[in-house]
């Protein structure tokens, strides 16, 4: 098959691309590299010649030109029906339509925030996702972006695009649930991880247990709760714990940084684990984050090693204190983390599932 993957989400499409190529497919990945993460792609529409206002004009021109020129693929898949292109001046709709018209089949990934997902969880008022939205609105999003995200115009445009495609493929429970009623919803497929590119490190504890939280989207990740928990733990266990919060690192720098970490706290506000959390597991880290039963059932997990945490300081402190008691078992726990990712998120197995969905949806 000849496949075009458009947009990036923390290396999701890069890992899927690796799996598809291993199966003998021709794949082109076009993205911005997901901003400061600098994830490599075959085509990048970030501005090259100019900065400032002229750089922005170059940015939107390169998006439009790319959408006109990439044609003749068996499948084009977008990382989101909302976040892939610049939404101003009608550019986003134009780019999507160009690529959908000029290629045989089109699919969207349900990953990250879009107007349908955002509004659904606001209305649902379930604890973790409602908390994620409240914290995200408080810390991560500017007022203009929130207004745009929740506008009736954007909701209509998003659902119109989704219905026009051959299918929408969710990556986890949080993104599947808001779209249950649409006719072209496809089965949820787990996030692909290429473990061949991720080194497994033996999870030995030296003098102290090193626990790391990646500072990225402060509200969405629940960083406030983690900071407060760390403050309590530093006082109680000064000789047992090395607690670190840092972030906004390029992908390769992040991988290098976490290789000596024992425990990673991904986020507090989710039902499932995202890509950074899965990479941590693949490296043999003990990983705390979204491990709710609803999320596990959606992905058909068995014996998940994910330590589920809630947006609650007491819960975080309690679960880290429990880990202190288990530090002699960290090497064994780390091996189980790696085995789990290889079993449920193997990029080649996941690529096969995508091909099956693409071929079965006309």
Task: List the CATH number of the domain containing 311.
Answer: 3.40.50.2000
If asked whether residues 187 and 207 sit together in one domain, one would say: no
What residue numbers bound the domain in which 330 lies? 195-344
If asked whether residues 109 and 98 sit together in one domain, one would say: yes
Mean pLDDT is lowest, of 54-68, 283-297, 308-322, for 54-68
Question: Do the Cβ atoms of 37 and 73 come closer than 8 Å?
Answer: no
> Which two tokens mark 222?
């629940």
> Which two tokens mark 192?
């692909």
If asked whether residues 166 and 245 sit together in one domain, one would say: no
Task: List the CATH number of the domain containing 119.
Answer: 3.40.50
Mean pLDDT of the 45-64 span: 84
If asked whether residues 75 and 115 sit together in one domain, one would say: yes
If asked whether residues 138 and 98 sit together in one domain, one would say: yes
Q: What is the pLDDT of residues 85-102, one digit of tens each?
A: 877 777 888 999 999 999
pLDDT above 70 (res 298): yes
Number of domains observed in the structure of the chain: 2
Cα–Cα distance for residue pair 263/204, rounded to 1 Å: 11
Mean pLDDT of the 292-319 span: 96
If asked whether residues 156 and 242 sit together in one domain, one would say: no
Return the pLDDT at 310.
Answer: 93
Pairing assessment for the beta strands 263-265 and 286-289 based on DSSP bridges? parallel
Mean confidence (pLDDT) of the chain: 90
If asked whether residues 184 and 301 sit together in one domain, one would say: no
If asked whether residues 124 and 153 sit together in one domain, one would say: yes
Work out the end-to-end distance of the chain between its first and last CA atoms, rounded to an integer number of angstroms: 15
If asked whether residues 180 and 214 sit together in one domain, one would say: no
Q: What is the pLDDT of residues 9-26, one digit of tens each?
A: 888 999 999 999 999 999
If asked whether residues 12 and 142 sit together in one domain, one would say: yes
Strands of the chain, DSSP E: 2-6, 26-31, 43-44, 75-78, 105-110, 167-170, 209-215, 241-247, 263-265, 286-289, 307-308
Cα–Cα distance for residue pair 283/254, rounded to 1 Å: 12
Exposed, middle or buried, 52 (CB in 10 Å: 0-12/13-18/19+)? exposed
DSSP label at residue 284: T
pLDDT above 80 (res 34): no
| Cβ neighbours of residue 64 closer than 8 Å, sequence gap 6 or more | 91, 94, 95, 98
| Cβ neighbours of residue 38 closer than 8 Å, sequence gap 6 or more | 250, 251
* pLDDT tier for residue 216 given thresholds of 50, 70 and 90: confident
If asked whether residues 28 and 80 sit together in one domain, one would say: yes
- pTM of the shown model: 0.91
Cα–Cα distance for residue pair 34/253, rounded to 1 Å: 15
If asked whether residues 213 and 181 sit together in one domain, one would say: no
Question: Do the Cβ atoms of 296 and 304 come closer than 8 Å?
Answer: yes
């Amino acid at each position: 098959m000849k496949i075009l993957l458009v947009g990036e989400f923390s290396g999701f499409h890069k890992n899927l691309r690796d799996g598809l190529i291993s199966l003998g497919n021709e794949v082109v990945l076009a993205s911005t590299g997901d901003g400061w993460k600098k994830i490599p792609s075959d085509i990048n529409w970030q501005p090259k010649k100019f900065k400032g206002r002229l750089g922005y004009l170059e940015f939107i021109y390169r998006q439009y030109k790319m959408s006109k020129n990439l044609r003749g693929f068996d499948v084009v898949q977008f990382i989101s029906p909302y976040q892939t292109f610049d939404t101003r001046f009608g550019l986003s709709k134009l780019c999507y339509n160009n690529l959908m018209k000029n290629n045989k089949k089109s699919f969207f990934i349900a990953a990250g925030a879009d107007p349908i997902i955002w509004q659904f969880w606001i209305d649902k008022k379930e604890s973790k996702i409602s908390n994620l939205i409240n914290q995200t609105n408080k810390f991560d999003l500017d007022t203009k972006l929130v207004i745009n995200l929740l506008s009736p115009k954007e909701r209509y445009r998003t659902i119109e695009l989704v219905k026009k495609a051959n299918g929408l493929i969710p990556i986890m429970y949080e993104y599947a649930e808001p779209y249950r009623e649409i006719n072209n919803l496809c089965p949820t497929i787990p996030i692909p991880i290429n473990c061949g590119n991720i080194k497994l490190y033996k999870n030995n504890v030296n003098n102290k247990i090193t626990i790391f939280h990646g500072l990225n989207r402060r509200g969405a990740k629940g960083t406030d709760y983690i900071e407060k928990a760390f403050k309590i733990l530093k006082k109680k266990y000064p000789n047992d714990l090395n607690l670190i919060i840092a972030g906004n690192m390029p992908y390769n720098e992040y991988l290098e940084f976490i290789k000596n970490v024992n425990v990673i706290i991904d986020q507090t506000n989710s039902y499932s684990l995202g890509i950074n959390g899965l990479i941590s597991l693949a490296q043999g880290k003990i990983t705390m984050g979204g491990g709710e039963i609803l999320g596990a059932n959606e992905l058909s997990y068995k014996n998940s090693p994910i330590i589920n945490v809630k947006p609650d300081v007491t819960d975080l402190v309690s679960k880290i204190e429990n880990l202190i008691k288990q530090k002699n078992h960290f090497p064994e726990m780390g091996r189980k983390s790696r085995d789990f990712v290889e079993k449920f998120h193997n990029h080649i197995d996941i690529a096969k599932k995508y091909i099956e969905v693409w071929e079965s949806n006309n």
